[in-house]
C-alpha cells in the first residue's frame, strides 16, 4: 500500500506499484488496467493523484490511453541493438524483423562542410542517406559518410536493400574493429521529418556513430535518426573482469 509519510510522492509510489504488477504479469501486455477512479478508491487517494501516476507511466511508454476505452499496458516493443558492428540492418534481421530500406540520397563523392563532429569536415567523403521501414512504418534514417580512399568506387555498387557491413566485407575486405557512439535527443524538420512521418515537436533519438578499421580510424561516420515510439534501440555493454 501507499505510505503517506514517505518522502516519495504518492503518485510515484502508485506508479511503482503498477509497474511491478505489469512486470510480474498481473497486468499482461495489451491488458486494460483499473480506471483512475477505481485506483483512487482502492488506494485511498484522490483521483488527481491516480491520474499523475498513470500520466507518468504513459510518458514512459509503459501505458497507453485509448479514448473511450481506458488505459492499457503497451504491447512489448521490439528491441534492436543500435551498436552492432555487423550493422544496423543486420541487427534487425538478427531479431527476426523484416526491414525494407530505400535510398533517400544516392551515394556520391561530396565535399563535406564545416561540422566539428564530422571526421570528414572540410574534406571529401562518399555520402548517402537511407530510410528503413518496418511493416511500412518508417523507423530510422541513416546519413552515412565513408572514407574517400578506402571505399574508392563504392558509388558503382548498388546499395539498395543491402547491409553496408556486408558490402564492405565482400568488396573491400574490411571489418570494423571498434568504434563509439554519441546519443542525444533532437528534432527534425523538412524532408527528414516528412520521411520519418514525425512532427517538428516530436523528440527523436539522434546517434552519431564512428567506426574504426585497421586501415583508418573513423573510416565510417553515420548520423542516425531513430523513432523510439516504434522500437527500443539498445546497446549491449561488455563486462570488465
Q: What is the mean pLDDT of the chain?
A: 84
Q: Report how far residue 224's alpha carbon sits from residue 143's, in angstroms, rounded to the nearest whole number.
A: 6
Q: Report how far residue 13's alpha carbon sits from residue 92's, in angstroms, rounded to the nearest whole number.
A: 36
Q: What is the number of residues in the chain?
A: 241
Which pLDDT belongs to residue 238? 43
Domain segments of the chain as ranges? 10-73, 79-234
Q: Report how far residue 156's alpha carbon sits from residue 158's, in angstroms, rounded to the nearest whole number.
A: 7
* Of the options 3.40.50.360, 3.40.50.300, 3.40.1410.10, 3.20.20.10, the CATH number for the domain spanning 79-234: 3.40.1410.10
Averaged pLDDT for residues 75-102: 58
Q: Report how far residue 187's alpha carbon sits from residue 164's, in angstroms, rounded to the nearest whole number.
A: 26
Number of H helices, E strands in the chain: 6, 10
Q: Which residues contact 45 (CB under 8 A, 6 or more apart)?
A: 2, 10, 14, 39
Expressed in angstroms, the distance from the first to the final Cα of the chain is 41
Please write the tens of the pLDDT for every residue from 131-190. Answer: 988 878 898 899 999 999 999 999 999 888 777 887 888 889 888 888 888 989 999 999
Residue with cell 541493438: 81
Q: Are 225 and 196 in contact (CB under 8 A)?
A: yes
Which pLDDT belongs to residue 240? 38
Q: Report how far residue 178's alpha carbon sits from residue 181's, in angstroms, rounded to the nearest whole number.
A: 10
Residue 193 has pLDDT above 80, yes or no: yes
Q: Are 33 and 27 in contact (CB under 8 A)?
A: yes
Q: Are 56 and 15 in contact (CB under 8 A)?
A: yes
Phi, psi of 177 (to 5 degrees): -95, -20
Q: Is 10-73's fold the same as 79-234's?
A: no
Averaged pLDDT for residues 110-122: 95
Choose the weakest-confidence range: 33-37, 59-63, 64-68: 59-63
Q: Which fold has domain 10-73?
A: Arc Repressor Mutant, subunit A (1.10.10)
Please write the tens of the pLDDT for every residue from 31-46. Answer: 999 999 999 999 999 9
- Of residues 80 and 207, more confidently modeled: 207
Residue 120 has pLDDT above 50, yes or no: yes
Amino acid at each position: 500500500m501507499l505510505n503517506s509519510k514517505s518522502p516519495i510522492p504518492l503518485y510515484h509510489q502508485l506508479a511503482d506499484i503498477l509497474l511491478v504488477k505489469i512486470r510480474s504479469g498481473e497486468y499482461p501486455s495489451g491488458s486494460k488496467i483499473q480506471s483512475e477512479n477505481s485506483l483512487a478508491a482502492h488506494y485511498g487517494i484522490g483521483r488527481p493523484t491516480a491520474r499523475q501516476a498513470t500520466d507518468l507511466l504513459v510518458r514512459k511508454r509503459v501505458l497507453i490511453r485509448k479514448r473511450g476505452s481506458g488505459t492499457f499496458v503497451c504491447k512489448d516493443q521490439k528491441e534492436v541493438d543500435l551498436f552492432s558492428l555487423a550493422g544496423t540492418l543486420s541487427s534487425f534481421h538478427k531479431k527476426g524483423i523484416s526491414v525494407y530500406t530505400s535510398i533517400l540520397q544516392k551515394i556520391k563523392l561530396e565535399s563535406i562542410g564545416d561540422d566539428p563532429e564530422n571526421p570528414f569536415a572540410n574534406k571529401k567523403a562518399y555520402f548517402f542517406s537511407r530510410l528503413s521501414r518496418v511493416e511500412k512504418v518508417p523507423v530510422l534514417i541513416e546519413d552515412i559518410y565513408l572514407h574517400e580512399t578506402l571505399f574508392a568506387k563504392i558509388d558503382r555498387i548498388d546499395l539498395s536493400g543491402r547491409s553496408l557491413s556486408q558490402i564492405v566485407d565482400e568488396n573491400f575486405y574490411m571489418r570494423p574493429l571498434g568504434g563509439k557512439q554519441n546519443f542525444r535527443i533532437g528534432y527534425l524538420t523538412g524532408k527528414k521529418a516528412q520521411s520519418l512521418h514525425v512532427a517538428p515537436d516530436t523528440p527523436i533519438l539522434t546517434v552519431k556513430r564512428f567506426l574504426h578499421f585497421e586501415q583508418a580510424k573513423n573510416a565510417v561516420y553515420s548520423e542516425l535518426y531513430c523513432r523510439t515510439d516504434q522500437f527500443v534501440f539498445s546497446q549491449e555493454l561488455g563486462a570488465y573482469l
